[in-house]
Structure 1
């Protein structure tokens, strides 16, 4: 089997890359369509859906690397010339489809990977790749934009594959030439006299520019669901929150996933001189951001936000063995449990920076009662709080 391609035939590596890429793309697409339609009404059904999505994502990542290797190999090799170069319009269309297909083979899996990395993980990617990507922050807006690109790229990929297959069948059944045979078993055919122009790459690039424009530009700065820091709270006490983050981390199918609440308010009365005070935090559960499983997490099986829209943490602030802590009760999903939140506090010129962490057991609040073991959803939920507040001597209502 010859390794190198020639102006009349495809070498072995080029043909192997072609068929392996096709297999991975078809498999990933089928798994994605199948997983989207799976029910999630029971722990067993959720586990099956997670497995299907994990397989879809993992094969998609593999398809990205195989496609990248294929393209890098292709640019180092001569490309077999069309068998009918005099059919200029047909040749231009075929080459445009090829370039659009190359783009889809990279853009579609990469955008899906960026979407996965930018939001709380649902269905982890198997293997050594991990859940994150360098330079990809956790961002609902970025995840939404990447998801839009992923969806549009799927349409481009589907159209390009359909046209590619239709062209191959035309050559095999109507023209009865060796175009398809050159890719199936490396048959040498044609004169090899052809020079590719720049029109096809330019047309394909314009297609992808349109995809990016439609997916990313409109409303990118004001996409709904983008988590924001809580608005400054003018309390009747002496501290006013300026910015902060309230997040939690739980293990799902063995991988850590992190969510956060965008809408919460803290009423703080704290005297630094005595290191004592009171705090009340109200959390709008509907402001939860947990990536692809946000709706499920807000449903009756978990937070049940429709019946219990607000959680409240009321606590006394004090010092125990040199460690500051807020000790009180958390009202969540109709249950009230004692909670202690140890925290550190830095005070500079009337500005306080606080960070704290505590761990809850979801079973104490009846969350995920149908998930009786930790195979799908872990019992422990780590809660992390960070905020900046300024001292205020006035009351604003």
Structure 2
């Protein structure tokens, strides 16, 4: 059996592409929905959900490359002559559905891959080539948009596949022609020389995809899902006014590092450099918990089992600033989710005139705050959570 197509039959390679992709779709779509609907209330359920999503993503990436090879082979090969050259409208519809299907086989896995690469989170792709994509930044907004495209495109894929199957059934049951036989066993059929172009169906399929995705954007499919309402933090009266800074956290989930940050926080700082060791000032930091973004697990992290952003919308760190041999340390208490736990935050400080630049890092144990009590396996979610603080502050006028 020849690998290449002829004017009256599909070759072995084209048929292999067709049925491998069909099998992949048959597995990938239900697997994705099973993973999406799977509960994640305890460590066992979260582990299963992660494994399901990893399998779904890995299969999706494989189908993406398989689809690209299929499209390149299809363009390079002669297309077998149509069995009913006189049915112009039917052929145009069939070819448009085929091009729409090719587009879906690229858009669905690629949008899912972009969502995965644009955010941190569990369920890695099971391969040794990394989890990122070139030119795809780490961006929650991009991840949300890619997720919306992925969600919509998967339903279009299902609809197009259904049309494709209905067409095959029509040819086999109503027309009783060898259309299906050509793809199943490479049967020869059709009159050589009776061909038609790809341009019109390609244009129609492209226009349909653009119209649907554009309509989805206009209808609000790409809007981010609102989370817990963040409290309004009042500006803190401070001897040093924070001009810019980040308050970040880092942890390990399912063997992968996940980083996030709080967008809304205030710091009231009283500080004077001292020549001798001892107290140099004090600081009070208020944090709006709902302002946390933590990659693809943001919604989970803000839920009741973890930060419980709705029940405990703020956290407060109150500390004395002490001079140390190798820098400074903020010794105080972090009040969060109803718990008050002593915390020591070592940091480096550089003061240039009225501008101070600070960098500090400490490690918390999430169990002290009843965060993720249902995740008792540190291999799934690390007990240790690193807190990284960087800020630039200027001395307030009159200080």
TM-score (norm 2): 0.90
Where does residue 198 of structure 1 map in the other structure?
A: 199
Q: How many residues in Structure 1 have an aligned counterpart in Structure 2?
A: 392
What's 2:181 paired with? 181
CA contact (8 A) 1:232 1:242 kept: no
Shift of 1:164: 0.7
Q: 1:56 to 1:220 in 2, by over 3 A?
A: closer
Q: 1:185 to 1:222 in 2, by over 3 A?
A: closer
- Aligned pairs (5 A) from 1:306-317: 306-317=310-321
- The 2-side partners of 1:258 and 1:241 are apart by 22
Match of 1:251 in 2: 252
- Corresponding residue for residue 103 of structure 1: 103
CA contact (8 A) 1:232 1:241 kept: no
Q: In the alignment, is the contact (CA less than 8 A) between 1:153 and 1:211 conserved in 2?
A: no
1:207 aligned partner: 208
Does 2:175 align with 1:171?
no
**Residue of structure 2 equivalent to 1:318:** 322
Give the SS at the match of 2:346: strand
Gap change, CA 1:86 and 1:390, over 3 Å in 2: farther
C-alpha distance in 2, partners of 1:368/1:96?
50
SS in 2 for 1:209: helix
Offset from partner CA, 1:236-276 (integer Å, 9 cap, x none): 22222233322212211222222222222222223357693
Give the alignment of 1:1-397 within 5 angstroms: 1-192=1-192, 193-216=194-217, 223=224, 234-271=235-272, 276-348=280-352, 350-393=354-397
Gaps of 5+ in 1: none
Question: Measured at CA, do residues 215 and 250 of structure 1 come closer, stay the same or move farther in structure 2, by a change above 3 Å?
Answer: farther
Distance 1:319 1:208, change over 3 A: farther
CA deviation after TM superposition for structure 1 residue 319, in Å: 3.2
Structure 1 pair 234–286 and aligned structure 2 pair: CA distance change class (3 A): closer
Could you tell me how far 1:161 is from its partner in structure 2?
0.5
Using the alignment, how far apart are the partners of 1:377 and 1:390 within structure 2? Answer: 38
CA distance in 2, matches of 1:354, 1:374: 31
SS of the equivalent of 1:248 reads strand
* Distance change >3 Å, CA 5–CA 236, structure 1 → 2: same
Residues 92-150 of structure 1 show CA distances to partners (whole Å, capped at 9, x for unaligned) of 11111111111110111111111122223132222224332222222221111111111
For structure 1, which segment, 178-187 or 365-374, has the greater mean C-alpha deviation from structure 2 after superposition? 365-374
Q: Quote the offset at 1:45 in angstroms.
A: 1.6
Name segments (4+ residues, structure 1) moved above 4 Å: 215-226, 230-234, 272-275, 346-349
| Distance in 2 between residues matched to 1:144 and 1:117, nearest whole Å | 12
SS in structure 1 of the partner of residue 93 of structure 2: helix
**Tell me, which stretches of 5 or more residues in structure 2 are unaligned?**
none
8 A Cα contact 1:140 1:225, kept in partner: no
Query: TM-score when scaled to structure 1?
Result: 0.90
CA positional deviation for 1:88: 0.7
Structure 1 Cα separation of the partners of residues 123 and 238 of structure 2: 44
Change beyond 3 A, Cα 1:349–1:44: same
Q: 2:311, 2:326 → 1: CA distance?
A: 40
Is the 2:327–2:349 contact (alpha carbons within 8 Å) kept by the matching residues of 1?
Answer: no
Distance in 1 (CA, whole Å) between partners of 2:378 and 2:208 is 46
> How big is each residue's C-alpha offset from its partner over 1:172-213, in whole Å with a ceiling of 9 and x where there is no partner?
111111111111111121113202142111111112212432
**What is the alpha-carbon root mean square deviation over aligned residues?**
2.6
Residue 170 of structure 1, CA deviation: 0.8
The Cα of 1:284 is off from its aligned counterpart by 1.4
Cα distance change on mapping 1:222 and 1:178 into 2, 3 Å: closer
